[in-house]
Amino acid sequence: MNIVPILAQAAPAPGAVDMFGMILPMLGILAVFYFFMIRPQQQKAKEHQKMLGQAERGDTIVTNGGLIGKIVKVVDDNELLVEVGPNVQVRVLRQGIADVRAKGEPQKLKKP
């Protein structure tokens, strides 16, 4: 007769095991999201900022709008003068550059 009360007392608390069993998979999912989504995106953004900072006169660029042209002049830290056609020059913000296609040698600046 004493066996039944002893077995009933040995049962673990149901809340403690369930909480640990729920937190462990959530931590695993967060780790997967960080290593496969967040970290690569941060690295790509860092490389893009480095590319924007290294753009200089003579480089062929592609803008976010799809224009392809050659940098004629660096106006200031944030603005470039880009030649998109013969005698057609536009001013572009550095943040508007999507890609630097070819590194070129700086051309001599034409004076109008």
User: Does the pLDDT of residue 2 top 60, yes or no?
Assistant: no
- Kindly report whether the global pTM for this prediction surpasses the value 0.85: no
Q: What is the pLDDT of residues 44-69, one digit of tens each?
A: 999 999 999 998 899 999 999 999 99
pLDDT for 19 equals 75
- Where is average pLDDT lowest: 7-11, 25-29, 32-36? 7-11
CB atoms within 10 A of CB 38: 11
Check residue 65 and report its DSSP letter.
T
CB atoms within 10 A of CB 52: 17
Q: Domain map of the chain by residue range?
A: 3-51, 56-102
Among residues 54, 91, 53, the alpha carbon closest in space to that of 72 is found at: 91
Cα(84)–Cα(66) distance, rounded to whole angstroms? 11
- The class of domain 56-102 in CATH terms is mainly beta
